[in-house]
Structure 1
Amino acid sequence: MQSYYNMNQTTLSIALDYVPEENHPARYIDTLVESLKIDYHYQFGRPREYDLAAMLKLVLLAYTYGIFSSRRIEQFARENKPAGWFIAGQVPSYRTICRFRISEELAQLTTESLNNLTVFLKEQGLVDDVSFIDGTKILADANKYSFVWRKNTVRFDKMNRDQLVTMLGELHEAKVIGEVPAGSELTPESLDAIIGVIEDKLVTLDEEVQATKKVSPNPAKRQRRTLKSQKRKLDERCQKMREHQQQQAIYGNRNSYSKTDHGATFMRVKEDPMQNGQLKPAYNLQIATSNQFITGFDLFQNPTDTRTFPTFLAHLKSQQALGKIVVADAGYGSESNYRYCEDELDEHTFLVPYGTMLKENSRKWRSDDRKVMNWDYHEKDDYFIDPHEVRFNFNRYSERTDKYGFTRQFKEYVAEKYDENHQLIPAALTPKGNLRRISVNEAWEYFKAKERKLLSAPETGSIYAQRKIDVEPIFGKMKASLHFNRFSVRGLDKVKNEAGIVVIALNILKLTAVGRLRRQKEHIKNTKLRGIRVIRRDALMPLLLYSGSEDRPCSF
């Protein structure tokens, strides 16, 4: 800076065109958004006051900087030069930014942007035909103490209906209404009809009271007072029944939701400062990556990854983002998922271990006599022999259906009670004296053997070994670097739009890092071709330390 500095002197303002430097995230964002060829036609209603392309560029750039608030994005647009380059100096208000983030057009824009970016990455050879799948929980914009539980709703609804039955019985004894048949289903509509009968009875009592004003004590007044009290209580119970039905509709297939954000489900998240395992309102974000680029994502209200797997795979296939090889951790390994993959996606290879795969290789597991897999099996006659020489013969087939509607097939084996000499075998009985029985799920054993074979092979095993260094760093970049731990909008559709913005921003940052690395390699290569010796700074560190100061390097 010059020695003479005066901010109040008269100057001549000269407008200069600004262009971001090479390999800046703004350049990638500009190329990506321009490839969408956004063409918005005004038809009805109030015309849009902002350009969709400019707003999308601004929001994407703000998210790459870790700025998620609408007010801070407005400040960012006013003070940041690349952001000003996007909006051509026209700073939108925070209300405009907020309306854009929850608009219906944003969902289509983020989907098309991610698809175009994935196509570009494939053309550049930056992604391969392997999809690594994993999920994480992200907090919702909701109060953590605003929970509503399905079990409580069911319990309160039962109590409310029991009290309604009692009240209707009292009204029947008072000959106000007719008898309600036992076991009949009470609905708000039927209660409204009963309340209408009570109101008609109250009108009759009002006329009777007017006709007998001078009678004291007046039995009509007493009956009217009692009937009014019963009607008020019946109105309250009917309103409670409507609330419970509304809550059941909000639950869907979930067990909880938040009063502040009905789309959020209470689940355990890693952000647990109190270390007490408290459930918090959150969403389950599932992503598919390849070479640390996100090729697909979806948002779920289920806290467990197992139930999201088939739906997410179908979504990836519809978006043409599912690789030939799919890799996921043991949280996705279940019989229902394996069966879905084999029936619906047989052209893909799935490297998904099951939960006990590592334990089955341990010495403790293999030496456990209680594990059926350690018993001797004779396939010809279909029987097992346990380590106590007890024979288990096939008895029957059985089925079990879980609460999600998935049916498993089992083969039941029963121990032989007597030996060849017709002597009782003590080891064939349980401690209570019943015959020992075991159930074997042949389909589950088949899928387990298939995954063990795939993951034991050197080629596929090396691919699975890349899972931790491919998909896990994405979540670290999202939460630790960008500090995106909580959504800023409410509602499943709006939250999914914001998740799309975050996913594209992470891809832009990764693309920028790859471009920077390539430029450094090209610079080193060109320098070597010119015959200039390149000395790395880490190679000079011992000499700098020996000289005592980095500012005064030693001569050599």
Structure 2
Amino acid sequence: MGAKVVFKPYDPDQLTFLPYKLEELVPEGHPVRIVKQVVDLIDVKPINRKYKGGGASSFHPRLMLKLLVYGYLTNTYSSRKLEDQAAQNVHFMWLLGMKKPDHNTINRFRSEKLSGILKQIFSQIVLLLAEQGIVSLKETVFTDGTKIESVANKYTFVWGKSIKNSKEKIKSQLDELWKYAQGLAAEELKDTTPISFEEINPEKVKETIAKIDAALNDKEEVSKQVKQKLNYARKNWPANLERYDQQEKQLGIRNSFSKTDPDATFMRMKEDHMLNGQLKPGYNLQISTQDQFILNYSLHQTSTDYQTLPSHIDQYEALYNTLPQAVVADAGYGSDENYGILQQKGIEAYIKYNTFDKEQKEGIKAFSNDSLHYNEGENYLTCPMGQRMAHIGDGQRITTSGHVQLISRYQAKNCNNCPMRGVCHSGQGNRIVEVNHSLRKHKQEAKERLNTEQGIKYRKRRPADVEPVFAQLKHNHGFRRFLLKGMSKTEVEIGLLSIAHNLRKWKA
């Protein structure tokens, strides 16, 4: 006969002599205790100023901030799920003192009260880390970027090139209609001021169409197709041009935006199921890390990393009133403008340029502009055959970010009789090269710095410092897409993610 089975007593209706305390249900060292401890230390006056006063009482900003930070720390991003957690999860109940904000309150606090000021809260937490010696704001930071998809519909887009083509089409068709009218009604239009269609606007189009209508009104020979086009132009072109002007204002220097989230730009992203780099509306997130703690974050509407660095560094300085000793980044940030800005600020730039890795393996490509020796004293280049290439002029080139580059031009002599003509220069006449001496100098300095013992250490450390942070946020914690629309709201989401990441790692 087998041993008797004994079960532990179980009576869900049994009363306890003393009620449970939530405090007893939260283990020591639990992340929720870290959130409470840190948020209790920071100054929430910037949030308090967002409240107007009067009316019904509000939940305390410190309580709401704890709810959101711990929510993002536990991968709970939805306001409705946060509402559920506040009513059901022991850790949330303990953290909030049994208060239960509803999802509308949570969403308004996140979207409105934290907008524009969360970076001040984030910087306070980083300063606490610095006070404890966990990070140093004056030492080296590692910078990188990733693209995060907007919640916008990826099939509702506006392209700058398409707007330009549509406006050109209207100009061309309006010019054709005007010439057609002049051919049939030259007498009626003889006193009309000549019209230029180089620049058009809604008022000008209305005026021109009205003149054409008046001139052709009693002309029997006007074709049916022209009448239809005039009717269509009268009804649609002015409104279309107004819409195009508004869209161009929304575009700014961008080349696209989403109709359902105008702040989002279409960027090539690899995180789709085919991994083939589809264009999706999104934002470019930039972070600077140290020992995988996030010291600075910024969100951008441009897909190119090099354009984001100046404002990212300016923000670092504004937040902490200091600058890092060095910035380490990959080749996406290597530009004449960025090297110059970091040099002016006294920051060592351990930043690759676009051909650095290839040069490390293969050396500088023979016959390239960079391979030509430059005599700075007499301002000439030396061609591969040892002949002087005389300076023939200077010019300027303006980048998409507005940075002005000085370009010098040099021309070789006797290229036609040169035995290296085929491999050195295939164009007609003597070879002409354009050189940005500032960039050339910056690249040489960057190369020397990156190949020092310290530079090699930084190059090895960079992928292990900043890239795992993106892996944590996007893969381990499932944040691949924003929940909110608009730059100000998505910045709040990134701020909460960054705070949660730092507190999670602080605990670890």
Aligned partner of residue 278 in structure 2, secondary structure: coil
**Structure 2 counterparts to residues 113-512 of structure 1, below 5 A:** 113-128=121-136, 129-167=139-177, 179=192, 181-183=194-196, 185-191=199-205, 230=230, 233-320=233-320, 322-343=323-344, 345=345, 347-362=346-361, 364-366=362-364, 368-374=365-371, 384-387=381-384, 389=385, 391-404=387-400, 405-417=402-414, 424-425=417-418, 427=420, 430-431=425-426, 433-512=428-507
CA-atom RMSD, angstroms?
Answer: 3.4
Query: For the Cα contact (< 8 Å) 1:288–1:295, is it kept in 2?
Result: yes
User: Cα distance 1:136–1:322, how it changes in 2: closer, same or farther (>3 A)?
Assistant: farther
Deviations 1:388-407 (A, max 9, x none): x3513323232241442333
Contact 1:138 1:485 in 2 (8 A): yes
Give the drift of 1:69: 1.3
> How far apart, in 2, do the equivalents of 1:431 and 1:141 lie?
50
**Closer, same or farther: CA 193–437 of 1 in aligned 2, 3 Å:** closer
Contact in 1 for aligned 2:202/2:237 (Cα 8 Å): no
User: Unaligned 5+ residue runs, structure 1?
Assistant: 206-217, 514-556
8 Å CA contact retained: 1:33, 1:57: yes
Q: How far did 1:85 drift? A: 1.6
- Farther off after superposition, 450-459 or 55-64: 450-459
Distance 1:167 1:509 in 2: 67
Secondary structure in structure 2 of the residue aligned to 1:281: strand
Of 19, 23, 28, 1:18 maps to 23
Query: 1:329 & 1:65 partners in 2: Cα distance?
Result: 31
Q: Aligned partners of 2:427 and 2:419: how far apart in 1?
A: 11
User: Do the aligned partners of residues 284 and 27 (structure 1) sit closer, same or farther apart at CA in structure 2, a change above 3 Å counting?
Assistant: same
Q: Residue in 2 aligned with 1:551?
A: none
Q: Say whether 1:5 aligns with 2:10.
A: yes
Letter in 2 for 1:188: P
The question of whether the paired residues in 2 share the 8 Å contact of 1:414 and 1:436 is answered with yes
How far apart, CA to CA, are the structure 2 residues paired with 1:503 and 1:17?
28
Alpha-carbon offset, residue 365 of structure 1:
3.2
User: Following TM superposition, by how much is the alpha carbon of 1:317 offset from its aligned partner in structure 2, in angstroms?
Assistant: 1.1
Letter of the 1:6 partner, please give it.
Answer: D
CA distance in 2, matches of 1:385, 1:108: 54
C-alpha distance in structure 2 between counterparts of 1:243 and 1:124, whole Å: 54
Q: Distance in 1 between matches of 2:490 and 2:451?
A: 40
1:369 maps to a residue whose letter is A
Q: Shift of residue 485 of structure 1?
A: 0.5
Q: CA deviation at 1:82?
A: 1.7
Q: Distance in 2 between matches of 1:365 and 1:298?
A: 36
> Displacement, 1:197?
8.9
CA spacing shift, 1:190–1:13, aligned 2, 3 Å: farther
Deviations along 1:338-366, one digit per CA (max 9) or x if unpaired, are 122223x1x2222112121222232x435
Residue equivalent to 1:49: 58
Deviation at 1:459, TM superposition (A): 3.1
Matched, 1:35 2:31: no
Aligned counterparts of 1:264 and 1:106: Cα–Cα separation in 2: 20
User: Post-superposition shift, 1:5?
Assistant: 2.7
Which one-letter code corresponds to 2:121 in the other structure?
S
- The answer for unaligned runs of 5 or more in structure 2 is 1-5
The answer to whether the 8 Å contact 2:209/2:233 transfers is no
Give the Cα–Cα distance (whole angstroms) in 2 for the partners of residues 47 and 193 of structure 1: 56
Tell me, yes or no, if the aligned pair for 1:33 and 1:113 is still in contact at 8 Å. no
1:58 aligns with 2:54: no
When residues 403 and 372 of structure 1 are mapped into structure 2, their CA distance, relative to the original with a 3 A threshold, is closer
SS at match of 1:465: helix
Distance (whole Å) between structure 2 residues aligned to residue 135 and residue 45 of structure 1:
43
Quick one: structure 1 residues 43 and 310, their matched pair in 2 at CA, closer, same or farther if it must change by over 3 Å? closer
Amino acid at match of 2:146: T
For 2:127 and 2:292, the matched residues in 1 are separated by 15
1:279 Cα deviation after fit: 0.7
Per-residue deviation, 1:301: 0.4
2:98 corresponds in structure 1 to 89
Report if aligned partners of 1:410, 1:442 keep a CA contact under 8 Å in 2: yes
AA paired with 1:395? H
Question: Paired residue for 2:3?
Answer: none
Partners of 1:178 and 1:65 lie apart in 2 by: 75
Are the structure 2 counterparts of residues 56 and 235 from structure 1 closer, same or farther at C-alpha, using a change threshold of 3 Å? same
Aligned residues: 484
- The SS at the match of 1:319 is helix
Deviations 1:401-455 (A, max 9, x none): 144233333443333318xxxx944545854541123333322221112112222
Output the TM-score relative to the length of structure 1: 0.78
Shift in Å, 1:505: 0.6
- Contact 2:140–2:328 (8 Å) recurs in 1: yes
- In structure 2, relative to structure 1, the CA distance for the partners of 1:242 and 1:380 (3 Å cut) is closer
Structure 1 Cα separation of the partners of residues 507 and 426 of structure 2: 67
Amino acid in structure 1 at the alignment position of 2:251: Y
In structure 2, distance between residues paired with 1:371 and 1:228: 58
TM-score normalized by the length of structure 2: 0.85
**In 2, Cα distance between equivalents of 1:334 and 1:21:** 51
Which stretch shifts more, 23-32 or 138-147?
Answer: 23-32
Q: Secondary structure at the match of 2:288?
A: strand
- Cα distance in 2 between the residues matched to 1:323 and 1:505: 23
| 8 Å Cα contact 1:198/1:231 also seen in 2 | no
Q: Partners in 2 of 1:433 and 1:190 — Cα distance?
A: 47
Counterpart Cα distance in 1 of 2:90 and 2:476: 22
Report if the CA contact (8 A) 1:392-1:413 is conserved.
no
Separation in structure 2 between the aligned mates of residue 36 and residue 178 of structure 1, nearest angstrom: 74
Question: Which piece of structure 1 moves more, 460-469 or 172-181?
Answer: 172-181
* Matched AA of 1:316: Y
Q: Call closer, same or farther: CA 1:432–1:336 in 2, change over 3 Å.
A: closer
Instruction: Select the residue among 74, 99, 114 that pairs with 2:108.
Output: 99
- Give me the whole-angstrom Cα distance separating, in 1, the residues matched to 2:191 and 2:501: 67
The 1:237/1:382 distance shift into structure 2, 3 A limit, reads closer
Output the amino acid matched with 1:14.
Answer: P
Residues 384, 392 of structure 1: 8 Å contact kept: yes
User: Cα 1:395–1:28, aligned 2, differ >3 Å: closer, same or farther?
Assistant: same
- Tell me the CA shift for residue 139 of structure 1: 0.7
CA distance in 1, matches of 2:194, 2:487: 43
Task: Give the whole-Å Cα distance in 2 for the aligned partners of 1:165 and 1:432.
Answer: 40
**Residue 245 of structure 1: how far off its partner (Å):** 0.8
Offset, 1:230: 4.6
Decide whether aligned partners of structure 1 residues 91 and 432 sit closer, same or farther in structure 2, where only a CA change above 3 A counts. closer
CA deviations over 1:263-285 (Å, ceiling 9, x no partner): 11111122032233221111000
